[in-house]
Structure formats: structure tokens, C-alpha cells
Structure 1
């Protein structure tokens, strides 16, 4: 029961839902006038999850065996390439047939059907060569899709560790698995892996960073050397934190080509950063910058793959943009999106084809309470304002 309660609380907090499930309707900063959206950019909405099964009999078999329960499907993270969106569908409850899918965002699309990515075989529960529960995903500059698989299913019911945690890299051009990185030797039984970042060093070397909230650590894996290590963060990072709830990480890219990792726990009062060159070398002592006090419990939901971080306040439906080239102060937080339905945004991602930012949002609090009827209402919306 302790595992269930702890995992459930961490999940609630990770999505920025207050334990009381009370949503704030107001704003501290006001809202900018929305820019004119790209003519091809349209929001798409769906309920629950519908999948492209090999045939009708397969769908019937999945339903009758409890392997497909549409209302238990919810997308929490996304990545876009052209007209294709890749979605993480964590296996929070039973009945999620695929945990990594893709679908179409072409103009005029009237329905959303999920196609398991890259194939059905890689979605099998209990098969440690397959994906168990994808909680985050990243597309890098080489159009490689990286996914973080915790190996734990049924998080909101009775959590079961099916397989060790891993990061899997796939080519979006061919759908082939390029690399599987086992995190078993870099984690413990208490680890809570939450977010994934992919970084490239000046010499072209590829590095993966994963936040481990329970162990106050960032896992660093050097793909070229095929080895990894943990950078344990100083206790100051969790100062004032009643529990190690959610460890958000966001990678910022400077115009000069350098990168920097920003991080914070949901319930701590401060935001920190560390230059990637120090993180890659495993030398963090004395190199971490204290950027100052947060004005609220910030939920970091993404970046523009440049210098901007997007966030919202815990339980609030409005999204703000902070350019990290400016000081970390409320006067530099620019409102860029307000959900008209009070849905909560879980990810902000660039849509390069349409030159805009997208937001993935849903009625996650209702999903948490299992009060979604036919399923959670999810939407890939368009960011407003001068972002």
C-alpha cells in the first residue's frame, strides 16, 4: 500500500495537479493578445484513445481480455515532426494496449486514431525487449526519437515493475530501434524516473539526462562511451521540500552553441541551473547556480529548444514563457496560453512545420479520480501570445 500511495502522490504532483484537485481560475500576470496562427495550424481533440488494430478480431480480443479499455488511455507528453505527432501513453491503469503511438495532425483530420510506434511487437507487457510504460519522449536534431520507459505499469492501481527502466532510441525515418540503454545499474528500487533530455556535446557526442526524483539525482549516460553515472544533487536543491516529489529538468540552448540544464523540485522554493559541460564530466560540486526564489510552485512543461522555458503554476490552466536570457523574476514571465476549458497543459512542444508552439492538455484531474466517462478529453492546442 505504501508503494501505491507514494507512486500515486508523485504522479499527481508530476502533472501539477494539487492534491485537493482545486483549480485556480485567476492569473497574476494578465494575458497577451493572441498572434495570428499559421493557416495550417489547427487544434485537434480526442476522447480516450482509439487504436489502429491489425483487424477487427484482434480489437475484440483485446477488449474482451481487458487489454483495451479506452477510458484508461491518456496522453501526457508529445513530439511533432512534420504532420506526425508522437505521444507517450503511460500505463497508469490496465487496458492501455500501446504506450508509444503516433497519429496525424494534417489539416482536415476529423478523427484521431493511434498507431503503435514503431509496431505492435514493441508494446507487449512483460517482454523486456518491448516498451512497458513510456513517461517522456524527445526528438533530437537528427530526427531520432528517444523514450523513457520506467518499466512500471498500473501506476494508479497496483504498481507492478515488469522490467528494468530503460531509454530507447528509434529512427523516425525507418522505425528501427537504434539503441537501448538499460538504467538498471544506475537506479535503485526506490527510483522515480520522470523526465528525459538529450544533449549533444561540441564534439558531437550524445548524452542522455534523466531525472530521478527519489534519489535527488540526475542520471547521465554517454552514448559514445556506452557508460553512465549519477550526479547526486546537493541537499540545498531540496531545502524546504517535505518530500522529493517531482524533479523537473529543462535543457536550454544558447546562441553560442552551449547548453545548460535548469532543474527544480515542485515543492522547493528555488530554481537551479548547471552548465552541461560540468554535468557531462560529472563535476557538479560548486558549479550549480542558485537562480533565486520561485514565486509559486512551478510546473515546467517544456522549452522552445532554444532559450525559453514554458511553465504554469500548480493547478493553474495558464501557461507562461520565461526567456532565460533575462533575470528570473515575475516581470519577465510572459503569459502565452490560457485553456478555455480549464484543462491542464502537460507538455509544450515546437511545431516547426507551422512555425508555432503546441500544447498538449487534458482533464487530468478527472482522469485521476476515474471520472471521465468514455475517457479523458485531450487536445493538442495552439499557443497564444507573443512567444
Structure 2
């Protein structure tokens, strides 16, 4: 029986019309010049195009997750004309640029009165097979931002494809101009009963915690969640832009002696920080934990901005270096300093702005990356005749071979 990585490679072989694929740490599962959807019928697609509900150039993939035979992709409603905000694709590729199948169904993306799915940034899957979807409730962020629904966590059982919970983030934790962007899960028991969800607010610099057991929320604020002014100026492939983005990337270290670390960073920053999850899992610590949030080590340097990060089962952190067309690595057992940070993949075509990065629950574990040329998309600079968006996969073990992260 083929293992997970072999299945992915088999899909690429079928896709590329070659007889073999060399073992390499990273590959592309899907790529698109522009993205399409599986509409109920060609007529409905034509209607959506004609009335502006579907503007192909405005669709961009942002978040990625994988569960068993499917890959899930989010397409936030950052501009007009995004007909669905969460979709799925098969893990075995039958074509290079497939249309997205809205998930869990079209009905969830056409519902009114905030009863469906509005605009998904990212999602995370627990080891019990529930996908926690972060619905920002905000549309047209790159045009005229409108908060049409409250930010909400939506829980979907991936075995039944049924929504099993909706949890609105309380108003007191959603500040004016908040942008709720990222989500990771902390579960420590076989039945996922002790599940906590960590949610970042990139614009108002907060960390919201959700405890599933009693549906309780609380929020931490801290100065380490803020951006660095000089790293808020970006230049990528000749495109200059300014983002004052705070707390964004989060990853969990391995569980040890009853606790585990949360590593985190602002998007517009070169520093990594750490806090014990025993602190943030305790709502009583919200106002008396300032000294618990600590600088991890050295700066990553003047182009060290990182989007997403994740730690694999062997304690290796992988992170997206957005201005370097690269994915970096760090062995969490070593000091966080420049000589201990490696590069596992670099490509100025396929890895232009690696945005999301997730590690799945499979054996062997596989990493998943979205690269999406986000700055070019924001300023309408993408060429529709070139491949702009990719779902990529990473073999964590192969990736660190011959790097400083090899153990």
C-alpha cells in the first residue's frame, strides 16, 4: 500500500506525463494561472460571471490543510467576485489546475444572515478529524473593507462533512480594525476533549484563546505582538509595499513534562518569541503574565519576515521566508541563532510569497504550503498567462538532509 508521500508523487507523475519523479524535499501538487470552481452547472457559472459574483482574476488561495484523501484550500473574499471561500481537492492529482469544489457545499457559501461561510482566512484540523475554520466575517479587505458578519470559528466533522459547531468570537475581543487571520490547535488527549484554539489578530496585536470544553474565550495583549517599524517596508521582485502586520505566525513545540511552548512572531518582524502554553491556557493569567512572553533568540536579519510556521513530530520548525522565496528550518532543541537556521527549499518561481504552511497528521508526516504572490495580487500585477498560485508539499525528513537542521 502506498504511503502518503508516494500517493502524492503518483499524482504528480500522472500530472506531468513522466515515468519517474526524483526524490526531492518539495514538489507542486497543483498550480493555477487563475482559479475556477465546480459550479452546479455551466449556466450558473455564466450567470455568476455576468452578474459579478465570480471574477476569476480576484480569486486567490490563502490557507491550506490536509486530511486523508483531501486537501482543503481557502479563498478569502478580499476582492469582489469570490463565489466560495473554502474548497476541497483530491490528494491524488488528475489534472494540473483543477477547479475548486466548494466545501462543505455550495449552500454554505450562498447563505444569508451570517448563517453560512463568509470569508475564510485559514483553518486547522485536529487529530480527531474536525476542521476548525476561521471565518473572518470581513469582505473586500483590499477594496473597501466591510465587516458584514462577526468573526466565527466553525467546526466541521471531516468524516461526515457536517458542521458540528459555530462559535462567534465575543465582541469585546474583536477591536476596531481587528483582522483575525491565523489559527492553530493545541490538543493533548486522544479524544480532543482538551482542545484549545489559538487565534491571532494581526492588526490589533492580540492572541485570542478558545477552550472547546466550555466554549470560553479570552484574549492576551503584549508588546511582542507588535511589528518592527523598519521591517514593515517590503520589496519583493521589484514590488514595494508597506505592511504594519503584527502577531501572525504561531507554532507549537513538542509536549514535554506537562507543558509545551508556543512559538510566535509578528509578520513584519525578524524576531521569534515564545510563551508556555500553560500560561495562555489559563484565563486568570491574562493580566499578570507580561514577563512570560520572551524573546527566543537572535534576529533573522533585515529580510527575515516570516508568514506561517509549523513544528513537525521530530521537533523541527519549518517557516516561510516571504522575501527570500524560501522555506527555512530550525531544530527546536538548539539555540535560536542565525547559524542554526537553515534553508530547505528556495525557488524564485514556485515559492514567490509562501503564505501558509501546515503539517498533517499522516504517517509519514507531510508538510503543505500555499505560495500565492500575494503582493502582486494585491496590486493587480499578476499575469494571467503565468502560474501564480500553488499547493505544494514538503517531505520534512528529506528536506533537512545536509542542512544545519539535520539530526
TM-score interval (norm. to shorter): 0.7 to 0.9
Change in CA separation of 1:309 and 1:127 when aligned onto 2, cut-off 3 Å: farther
The Cα of 1:345 is off from its aligned counterpart by 1.0
CA distance in 1, matches of 2:195, 2:119: 24
Length-normalised TM-score, structure 1: 0.82
CA distance in 2, matches of 1:362, 1:182: 29
296, 321, 326: which is aligned to 2:329?
321
- Which range moved further: 119-128 or 190-199? 119-128
Matched residue of 1:278: which SS?
helix
User: Is contact 2:269-2:305 (8 Å) kept?
Assistant: no
74, 78, 84: which is aligned to 1:88?
74
CA distance in 1, matches of 2:227, 2:120: 30
CA distance in 1, matches of 2:65, 2:158: 11
Q: Hey, what does 2:187 align to over in structure 1?
A: 200
Q: What does residue range 1-387 of structure 1 map to in structure 2 within 5 Å?
A: 36-37=23-24, 43-124=29-110, 126-185=112-171, 186-201=173-188, 204-233=193-222, 235=223, 237-238=225-226, 240-241=228-229, 245-256=245-256, 258-282=259-283, 283=285, 284-296=289-301, 297-306=304-313, 307-341=315-349, 343-350=352-359, 352=362, 355-374=365-384, 377-383=388-394, 385-386=399-400
CA distance in 2, matches of 1:79, 1:97: 20
Change in CA separation of 1:291 and 1:35 when aligned onto 2, cut-off 3 Å: farther
Length-normalised TM-score, structure 2: 0.79
Q: Which structure 1 residue ranges, 5 or more long, are not aligned?
A: 1-33
CA offsets 1:41-69 (integer angstroms, 9 cap, x no match): 76321222111111122112111110011
Change in CA separation of 1:237 and 1:173 when aligned onto 2, cut-off 3 Å: closer
CA distance in 1, matches of 2:365, 2:211: 32
CA distance in 1, matches of 2:392, 2:322: 20
User: Is contact 1:126-1:162 (8 Å) kept?
Assistant: no
- Indicate the RMSD between aligned Cα atoms, in angstroms: 2.7
CA distance in 2, matches of 1:359, 1:288: 28
- Provide the aligned length of Structure 1 versus Structure 2: 352
Change in CA separation of 1:361 and 1:270 when aligned onto 2, cut-off 3 Å: closer
The Cα of 1:340 is off from its aligned counterpart by 4.6
User: Is contact 1:51-1:114 (8 Å) kept?
Assistant: yes
Matched residue of 1:58: which SS?
helix
Q: Which structure 2 residue ranges, 5 or more long, are not aligned?
A: 1-20, 233-243, 402-407
The Cα of 1:237 is off from its aligned counterpart by 4.8
The Cα of 1:373 is off from its aligned counterpart by 4.3
Higher relative contact order (CA 8 A, sep 6+): 1
CA distance in 1, matches of 2:112, 2:246: 27
Matched residue of 1:123: which SS?
helix
Change in CA separation of 1:42 and 1:151 when aligned onto 2, cut-off 3 Å: closer
The Cα of 1:236 is off from its aligned counterpart by 5.1
The Cα of 1:353 is off from its aligned counterpart by 6.2
Q: Hey, what does 2:16 align to over in structure 1?
A: none
